[in-house]
Chain A
Amino acid sequence: MTEDLMSGAAIVLKALVDQGVEVIFGYPGGAVLPLYDELFKQNRIRHILVRHEQAALHAAEGYARSTGKVGVVLVTSGPGATNAVTGLLDALCDSVPLVCLTGQVPTHLIGNDAFQEADTTGITRPCTKHNYLVKDGAQLASVMHEAFYVASHGRPGPVVIDLPKDILINKAAYQGPSKLGHKSYRPQIKADGKSIEAAAALIAGAKRPLFYVGGGVVNSGSQACADVTAFIRQLGAPCTQTLMGLGAFPGSDPQSIGMVGMHGNYEANWSMHECDVMVCVGARFDDRVTGRLNAFAPHSKKIHIDIDPSSINKNVAVDVAVVGDVGSVIADLRAVWQAQSYHLDQAALADWWGRINQWRARKCLSYQQGPQIIKPQYAIERLYELTKHRDSYITTEVGQHQMWAAQFYKFEEPKRWMTSGGLGTMGYGLPAAMGVQIAHPDALVIDIAGEASIQMNIQELSTLGQYRLPVKLFILNNQYMGMVRQWQELMHGSRYSESYSDSLPDFVKLAEAYNAVGFRIDKVEDLDGAILEMINVKRPVIFDCRVDAKENCFPMIPSGAAHNEMLLGPGDTAQRQGSEDGMVLV
Chain B
Amino acid sequence: MMQISDIRTHIIAVLVDNESGVLARVIGLFSGRGYNIESLTVAEVNVREKLSRITIVTSGTPMVIEQIKAQLSRLVPVHKVSDLTIEGPQVARELALIKVVGSGERRVEALRIADIFRARAVDSTNESFVFEIVGATDKLDAFIGLMEPLGLTDVSRTGVVAIARGPHPL
Name A's B-contacting residues (CB within 8 A). Answer: 121-122, 125-126, 129-131, 133, 135, 150, 154-155, 182-185, 294, 308-310, 312-314, 317
Contact = CB atoms under 8 A, between A and B. Distances in A.
Interface stretch (B68-76, B131-139, B149-157): B68-76
A150 B76 CA distance: 8
A133 B70 contact: no
B28 interface: yes
B55 to A, nearest CB: 20
Contacts, number: 43
A212 B65 CA distance: 27
Given A150-B76, A317-B63, A309 B28 contact: no
Contacts of B75: 130
A126 B67 contact: no
Categorize the interface residue count of chain B.
10 to 19
26 contacts: A122-B21, A122-B24, A125-B25, A126-B28, A126-B32, A130-B75, A133-B21, A135-B20, A150-B76, A154-B74, A155-B74, A182-B76, A183-B17, A184-B17, A184-B79, A294-B1, A308-B74, A309-B70, A309-B73, A309-B74, A310-B67, A310-B70, A310-B71, A310-B74, A314-B67, A317-B63
A179 to B, nearest CB: 18
A125 B126 CA distance: 50
Contacts of A130: 75-77
Interface string B43-78: 000000000000000000001001100110111110
Nearest to A187: B74
Interface string B9-36: 0000000010011001100100010000
Contacts of A185: 76
A271 to B, nearest CB: 25
Contacts of A135: 20
Contacts of A182: 76
A403 to B, nearest CB: 28
A312 B25 contact: no
B86 to A, nearest CB: 15
Nearest to A121: B21
A399 B79 CA distance: 41
Nearest to B76: A130
Nearest to A294: B1
Contacts of B77: 130, 184
B70 A312 contact: yes
A192 to B, nearest CB: 15
B24 to A, nearest CB: 6
Contacts of A310: 67, 70-71, 73-74
Contacts of A294: 1
Of the listed residues A133, A150, A185, the one surrounded by the most CB atoms of chain B closer than 10 A to its CB is A185
A282 to B, nearest CB: 16
Of the listed residues A135, A310, A312, the one surrounded by the most CB atoms of chain B closer than 10 A to its CB is A310
A37 to B, nearest CB: 28
Given A294-B1, A313-B63, A125 B24 contact: yes
Interface string B79-122: 10000000000000000000000000000000000000000000
